């Protein structure tokens, strides 16, 4: 019990990185999953226009009315300098002059030279205004071509074009299953980092030669010391894993049932592997700085190589060959199958096969850690 209690006394001073990893992960995941869920309403873009009617006919008046509709009509003197200033200071987006002979040209079915326009290039407003004018002219021309006079054709075109498409926003909210999939996708990196950054230093501290010697000189049986360490490490990892699972359920607003239980089991096996790696590293490394370097290299490296951060289907053939030798690959593969990610479909047989591969890695890591620890002690 002494070693068990000691473990947690040391651990309490090493919890900051764990809390940071967990906090940042939950924060990022919450912000990703909540983006795009706000209700938004559609409002057509409104342009500020100035329209000069040099034709002065009924057809040009109807054209002016049509263009002005839905936009803001600005009154500016028909002077080049003033128009350029207004465009420069964006007092207006677009200046249109309905040229003389507008009605006559339309009657003849001509569509060129009906307007003179001035605008600032490379602006989406111009495209919008151009489209609106072209649409109007083409519609009027079409009606006029069918035998209508220009005035009737203009009225008919304005009426036809009045109809607007109904716009509805499709909300981009993710389902509970999708969020859970995302949660379990990124979990191995955070779980690994949190476990190693807490367990590693504690094990290194407990394994310092001078305190180890003092403990071995005491009346404490070696078996009790070992069980104390293993027991405390197991309890810590279980608590940490449990907290992550609770966080996952809260963020996804879901519960663990059905096939998601496979994901839970998958994460448990990965927690086991991370614990094994922590013990292995602590039995080789005596320096916490070296431990931090290993966390970064192995944690980030295996996450990138095995498809935690990048979907597995995007990984190159060579990368996949290498990553198969890392436990994270099998974790991600199982997770993809459970949640139907990376073009995978759920297949319990395949998932169990991945579990077996992961458990094989765990056994190997623990065996290696045991051998190294024994060698170190002797």
Point out which residues bind other proteins (CB under 8 A): 1-2, 5-6, 9-10, 13-14, 205, 210-211, 213-222
Closer CB to other proteins, 13 or 162, in the complex? 13
Our CB check for other proteins shows the closer of 10 and 249 to be 10
Nearest-approach distance from CB 284 to other proteins, in angstroms: 21
Cβ proximity to other proteins: between 10 and 300 the closer is 10
Nearer to other proteins, 55 or 225 (CB): 225
Residue 100 burial class via C-beta count within 10 angstroms: exposed 0-12, middle 13-18, buried 19 and up: middle
Cβ 216 to other proteins, closest distance in Å? 6
Query: CB 290 → other proteins: shortest distance, Å?
Result: 18
Integer CA distances (angstroms), 329 to 160, 188, 321, 325, 358, in order: 59, 10, 10, 8, 9
> What's the rounded Cα separation, in Å, for the pair 334 and 344?
10
Kindly report the CA angle at 87 between 86 and 91, in degrees rounded to 5? 50
If the CB atoms of residues 121 and 221 are measured against other proteins, the closer one turns out to be 221
Of residues 223 and 257, the one with the C-beta less far from other proteins: 223
| Sign, Cα dihedral of 222, 227, 232, 234 | positive
Q: How far is the CB of 21 from other proteins (least distance, A)?
A: 20
What gap in Å lies between CA 38 and CA 95, rounded to an integer? 37
* Distance in Å, CB of 210 to other proteins, minimum: 4
Please report, to the nearest 10 degrees, the dihedral formed by the alpha carbons of residues 322, 323, 325, 327 taken in order. 170
DSSP H helical ranges for the chain: 2-11, 16-34, 58-68, 80-88, 102-107, 124-145, 150-162, 176-206, 209-216, 222-252, 260-284, 288-306, 317-323, 327-339, 348-377
Tokens read off for 174: 């993710």
Question: Rounded to the nearest whole angstrom, what is the least distance from the CB of residue 337 to other proteins in the complex?
Answer: 43
Quote the least distance from Cβ 7 to other proteins, whole Å.
11
Measured N-to-C along each axis, helices 176-206 and 222-252 cross at an angle, to the nearest 10 degrees, of 160
Q: Which residue, 210 or 314, has its beta carbon nearer to other proteins? A: 210
Residue 95: strand pairing partners: 50, 118
């Amino acid at each position: 019990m002494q070693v068990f209690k000691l473990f947690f006394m040391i651990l309490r001073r090493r919890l900051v990185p764990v809390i940071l990893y967990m906090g940042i992960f939950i924060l990022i995941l919450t912000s990703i999953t909540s983006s795009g869920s706000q209700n938004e309403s559609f409002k057509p873009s409104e342009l500020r226009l100035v329209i000069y009617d040099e034709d002065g006919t009924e057809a040009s008046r109807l054209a002016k009315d049509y263009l002005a509709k839905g936009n803001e009509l600005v009154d500016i003197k028909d002077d080049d300098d003033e128009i350029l200033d207004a465009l420069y200071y964006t007092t207006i987006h677009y200046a249109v002059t309905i040229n003389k002979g507008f009605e006559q040209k339309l009657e003849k079915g001509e569509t060129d030279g009906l307007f003179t326009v001035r605008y600032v290039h490379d602006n989406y407003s111009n495209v919008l205004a151009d489209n609106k004018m072209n649409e109007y002219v083409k519609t009027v021309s079409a009606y006029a071509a069918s035998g209508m006079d220009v005035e009737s054709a203009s009225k008919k075109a304005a009426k036809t074009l009045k109809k607007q498409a109904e716009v509805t926003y499709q909300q981009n909210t993710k389902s509970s299953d999708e969020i859970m999939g995302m949660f379990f996708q990124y979990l191995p990196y955070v779980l690994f980092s949190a476990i190693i950054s807490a367990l590693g230093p504690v094990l290194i501290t407990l394994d310092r030669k001078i305190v180890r010697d003092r403990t071995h000189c005491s009346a404490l049986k070696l078996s009790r010391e070992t069980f104390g360490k293993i027991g405390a490490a197991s309890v810590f990892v279980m608590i940490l894993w449990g907290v992550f699972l609770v966080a996952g359920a809260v963020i996804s607003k879901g519960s663990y049932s059905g096939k998601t239980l496979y994901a839970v089991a998958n994460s448990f096996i990965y927690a086991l592997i991370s614990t094994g790696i922590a013990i292995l590293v602590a039995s080789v490394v005596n320096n916490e700085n070296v431990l931090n370097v290993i966390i970064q290299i192995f944690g980030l490296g295996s996450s990138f190589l095995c498809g935690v951060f990048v979907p597995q289907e995007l990984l190159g053939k060579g990368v996949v060959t290498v990553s198969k030798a890392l436990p994270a690959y099998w974790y991600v593969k199982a997770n993809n199958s459970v949640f139907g990610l990376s073009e995978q479909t759920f297949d319990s047989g395949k998932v169990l096969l991945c579990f077996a591969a992961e458990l094989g890695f765990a056994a190997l890591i623990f065996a290696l850690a045991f051998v190294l620890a024994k060698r170190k002690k002797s």
